[in-house]
């Protein structure tokens, strides 16, 4: 099978982590972009990526790249692609686009011309015309048009991969599943120590931690992807790819996952979401103020994702919460690596700990930070020098 460029998209801030994922799964990294990583492979490789990738949103398989200066040129070049080989004439097509071109003021126009070129070509070749519309649950084509260069992709994911399917009960401000996975991968937690998530909300971080700890591919939770609606899709080959991924799943975790929240409804939702993801038995849930969260001896990772607040009154209250988070980390989490994920850097300062690392992320378009704190057991000054074979905390 022919290898072509594949672009795995992701939110800004995540490409460095996504790149490591691709290397881990044996894919070459051809380029790192601001919101994605470029690799290459066959359509079957694109299926594997959809199954395995934790931090990517869409796996885009390149069909054609060409120059176009206006929408008529776009139509002609898109209509020259052999769409009848990919999109079923009795199927349903959705076209999405990202357009940065001075001749196109409304990207919906480019989307429409691209869609017309595809369905007109299929009608000319087969006598039938697929239906089209905004639903992304069947064949999806993505047009990327920047200046005079157009890239036309099969979107092999369809619905974004962030929609794992387990979050049936989202609450107030849930973290996107892919972002939660990126945060956990950034902490380096691998399932062998304790992962603590006070203020767990709908449980996204704890659930993603369980999937990572078990080495369970997130795509195993989904039963629909864009590639399933491309002509020639083999369900028996897809079953084999899934079975291979299942063989790598650990039977249990050697570490522990603890998730608490002060809101009983949040913990109930988190528990149900975890059950849908099949990992409820791996997470120790509790209803309590974050400061009462049990912190077992032995060290590990503690991740806090408090609200960031928008209105003045909220901010004043949150200042107290952030100061208490600092106290909790300093007094109760010694020997752990502490992390704070927040979209408000002013509030983060109230924690009064010096971050060892600060990583930029975006959550629903808001610029956020993941701050890492090393919480030494014993003051740093009194720390004994590491002897060979000692385990760093």
Ligand X SMILES: C[S@@+](CC[C@H](N)C(=O)[O-])C[C@H]1O[C@@H](n2cnc3c(N)ncnc32)[C@H](O)[C@@H]1O
Residues found near ligand X in the complex (CB under 6 A): 171-175, 198-199, 201-202, 204-205, 261-263, 266, 289-290, 305-307
Cβ 180 to ligand X, closest distance in Å?
6
Q: Which helix (H) or strand (E) holds 15?
A: helix 15-24
| Residue number, 97 or 176, with CB nearest to ligand X | 176
Per the DSSP assignment, residues forming a β-bridge with 283 are: 257
| Residue number, 36 or 198, with CB nearest to ligand X | 198
| Residue number, 155 or 307, with CB nearest to ligand X | 307
Distances (CA, A) of 114 to 111, 141, 223, 230, 379: 5, 9, 28, 18, 63
| Residue number, 37 or 183, with CB nearest to ligand X | 183
Cβ 289 to ligand X, closest distance in Å?
4
| Residue number, 55 or 305, with CB nearest to ligand X | 305
For 360, the 3-state DSSP assignment is strand
Cα–Cα distance between 372 and 312 in angstroms, integer? 27
Cα–Cα distance between 27 and 18 in angstroms, integer? 11
Cβ 158 to ligand X, closest distance in Å?
23
| Residue number, 68 or 266, with CB nearest to ligand X | 266
Cβ 306 to ligand X, closest distance in Å?
5
Cα–Cα distance between 347 and 26 in angstroms, integer? 40
What is the DSSP pairing of strand 4-9 with strand 36-41? antiparallel
Cβ 352 to ligand X, closest distance in Å?
18
Cβ 358 to ligand X, closest distance in Å?
19
Distances (CA, A) of 327 to 95, 320, 366, 382: 51, 11, 27, 20
Cα–Cα distance between 344 and 361 in angstroms, integer? 12
For 247, the 3-state DSSP assignment is helix
């Amino acid at each position: 099978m022919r290898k072509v460029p594949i672009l795995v998209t992701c939110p800004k801030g995540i490409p460095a982590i996504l790149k490591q994922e691709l290397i881990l799964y044996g894919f070459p990294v051809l380029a790192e972009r601001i919101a994605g990583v470029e690799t290459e492979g066959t359509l079957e490789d694109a299926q594997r990526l959809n199954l395995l990738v934790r931090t990517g949103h869409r796996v885009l398989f390149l069909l054609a790249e060409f120059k176009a200066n206006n929408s008529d040129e776009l139509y002609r070049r898109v209509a020259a692609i052999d769409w009848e080989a990919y999109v079923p004439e009795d199927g349903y097509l959705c076209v999405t686009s990202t357009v940065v071109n001075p001749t196109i003021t409304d990207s919906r126009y480019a989307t429409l011309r691209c869609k017309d070129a595809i369905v007109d070509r299929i009608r000319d070749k087969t006598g039938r015309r697929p239906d089209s519309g905004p639903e992304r649950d069947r064949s999806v084509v993505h047009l990327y048009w920047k200046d005079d260069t157009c890239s036309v992709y099969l979107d092999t994911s369809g619905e974004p991969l962030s929609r794992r399917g387990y979050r049936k009960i989202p609450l107030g401000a849930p973290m996107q599943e892919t972002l939660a996975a990126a945060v956990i991968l950034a902490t380096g937690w691998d399932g062998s120590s304790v992962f603590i998530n006070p203020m767990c909300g709908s449980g996204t971080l704890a659930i993603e931690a369980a999937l990572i700890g078990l080495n369970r591919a997130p795509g195993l939770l989904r039963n629909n992807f864009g590639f399933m609606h491309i002509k020639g899709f083999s369900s028996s080959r897809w079953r084999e790819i899934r079975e291979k991924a299942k063989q790598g799943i650990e039977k249990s975790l050697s570490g522990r996952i603890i998730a608490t929240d002060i809101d009983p409804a949040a913990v109930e939702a988190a528990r149900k979401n975890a059950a849908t993801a099949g990992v409820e038995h791996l997470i120790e849930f509790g209803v309590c103020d974050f400061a009462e969260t049990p912190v077992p001896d032995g060290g590990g990772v503690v991740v806090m994702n408090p609200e960031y607040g928008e209105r003045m009154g909220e901010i004043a209250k949150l200042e107290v919460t952030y100061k208490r988070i600092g106290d909790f980390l300093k007094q109760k989490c010694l020997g752990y690596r502490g992390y704070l994920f927040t979209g408000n850097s002013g509030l983060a300062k109230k924690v009064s700990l010096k971050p060892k690392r600060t990583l930029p992320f975006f959550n629903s378009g808001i610029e956020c930070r993941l701050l890492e704190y090393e919480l030494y057991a014993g003051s740093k000054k009194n720390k004994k020098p590491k002897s060979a074979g000692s385990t760093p905390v």
